[in-house]
Amino acid sequence: MTDHLDGNVLAGALSEVFTTDVTAARARCGGCGRMSAIAEAMVYTSAPGLVARCAGCDQVLATIVDAGDRLILSLAGLSAIELRR
Amino acid sequence: MSAPPLTSVGRSRPRPAWHVATVVETRRETPTAARLTLEVPTWPGSEAGSHVDVRLTAPDGYQASRSYSIVSSTPEAQVVLAVDEQPDGEVSPFLVHEMRPGDQLELHGPLGAFFVWRPGESDRPVQLVAGGSGVVPLYAMAAAHGTADDDAPFRLLYSVRTPADVFFADELAALTGPAFSLDLVYTREAPDGWPDAVGRLTRETLAARTLPAARQPRVYVCGSTGFVETVARWLQELGHPATAIHTERFGGL
């Protein structure tokens, strides 16, 4: 029940990809349509990488694998991210 | 016509980067936690509530990294962290027990734009709710509020095991005044003569010792995952809208 963190912990890894901090950005779950801040996703760190799941429906929103000289990011479970200018 | 000034906090926020930090001082914060003062000449400054990723590299090249909240920081000078030891942790036992002045660490930061407090952003009061070492980013917000020209009232409800486990005891006492009030809940042992029951935070105590939803506070909750999820659910039951509740979980029990 309590083996997860939350999307705040993604700030470091995502800062390698995005030019602004996106943990405060709202994103839409591709499964249930819920809009919430990326910081509010449930993040599991026990896999070989980070797995972010929707707090509403448990859908996998994103995975981040740090493979040393490569970073592999999947945002396949998100249908949109709202970035503030 | 001149261009409007760039006041957006988002634009002025320092970009995260890797920094080399040198330990200046390490001291006991509680029986299980240490306060580390680090010298970081390249540090750009940070917002209250933000964190760093600390990376350790073993002699064989194995790397481990964990996130820690920033207690305070000074641009181009110092970063202060308070680290609670996780008994089965990979990084925290090393930081709590093995760091000595002169040792070096790699920091990635400042990180996090969600769980931060910015002076002057809102007139609404602020309620902070801490479980154990989850008080670190909340103390950072209260301390920043104490030095900022910001009139929003602050209140901290701090659930902690025993009096010896209270982080920043002297600093929190010094902040207490018209603009900041502190409510402590002891879960295992209280000082002699403590008037309240000792035990886990309950929904009734949360309701009695926090700003009511009618005052429309912005609420920040930080603690173990179980603590945060319980408190966030109770806050919503007490009428606080989900959008007013900011949460940060550090995992654990």
The domain locations on chain B are: 13-111, 126-249
The CA distance from B40 to B106, in Å, is: 10
Give pLDDT, residue A63: 97
Nearest to A32, CA basis, from A59, A68, A70, A67: A59
Contact B67 A39 (CB under 8 A): no
Is residue B193 within 8 A of residue B204, CB to CB? The reply is no
Q: Strand order of the sheet with strand A26-29?
A: A35-37, A26-29, A78-82
Is residue A77 within 8 A of residue A30, CB to CB? The reply is yes
Q: Would you state the CATH architecture of domain B126-249?
A: 3-Layer(aba) Sandwich (3.40)
The backbone torsions φ and ψ at residue B38, rounded to the nearest 5 degrees and listed phi first, read: -115, 140
* Strand ranges inside chain B, DSSP E: 17-30, 33-39, 51-57, 63-73, 78-84, 104-111, 126-131, 154-160, 180-186, 218-223, 245-249
Quick one: closest CA in B to A37, which residue? B114
How deeply is A53 buried, as exposed, middle or buried, from its count of CB atoms within 10 A (0-12, 13-18, 19+)?
buried
How deeply is A76 buried, as exposed, middle or buried, from its count of CB atoms within 10 A (0-12, 13-18, 19+)?
exposed
Pick the residue of B13, B65, B114, B221 with the most A CBs within 10 A to test the interface with A by mutation: B114
Decide: helix, strand or coil at residue B130. strand
* B 9-28 near A (Cβ less than 8 A): 10, 13, 15-16
Contact A24 B111 (CB under 8 A): no
Contact A6 B248 (CB under 8 A): yes
Report residue A45 as tokens: 């760190």
Nearest to B171, CA basis, from B142, B196, B208: B142
Nearest CB neighbour to B111, from listed A6, A15, A40: A15
Q: HSE of A10 in the Cβ direction (CA atoms, 13 Å)?
A: 34
Q: Which fold has domain B13-111?
A: Elongation Factor Tu (Ef-tu); domain 3 (2.40.30)
Q: Which amino acid, residue A14?
A: L
Contact A11 B224 (CB under 8 A): no
Chain A positions in Cβ-Cβ contact with residue B13 (cut-off 8 Å): 20-21
pLDDT digits (tens, 9 = 90+) for B85-133: 998 888 999 999 999 999 999 999 999 999 999 999 999 999 999 999 9
- Preceding amide of B163 cis, omega within 30: no
pLDDT at B84 over 70: yes
Report residue B108 as tokens: 């990635």
pLDDT at B6 over 50: no
Nearest to A7, CA basis, from A48, A58, A43, A46: A43
pLDDT digits (tens, 9 = 90+) for B157-209: 999 999 999 999 999 999 999 999 999 999 999 999 999 999 999 999 999 99
Give pLDDT, residue B150: 86
Question: If pLDDT is split at 50, 70 and 90, which confidence band does B12 have?
Answer: low
pLDDT digits (tens, 9 = 90+) for B53-79: 999 988 998 888 999 999 999 999 999
Question: If pLDDT is split at 50, 70 and 90, which confidence band does A85 have?
Answer: confident
Regarding an ipTM greater than 0.85, the answer is yes
Pick the residue of B111, B219, B236 with the most A CBs within 10 A to test the interface with A by mutation: B111
Chain B positions in Cβ-Cβ contact with residue A23 (cut-off 8 Å): 112-114
Is residue B22 within 8 A of residue B36, CB to CB? The reply is no
Quick one: closest CA in B to A26, which residue? B114
Nearest to B38, CA basis, from B127, B113, B104: B104
Which residues does A49 contact at the CB level (< 8 Å), separation at least 6?
A63, A64, A65, A66, A72
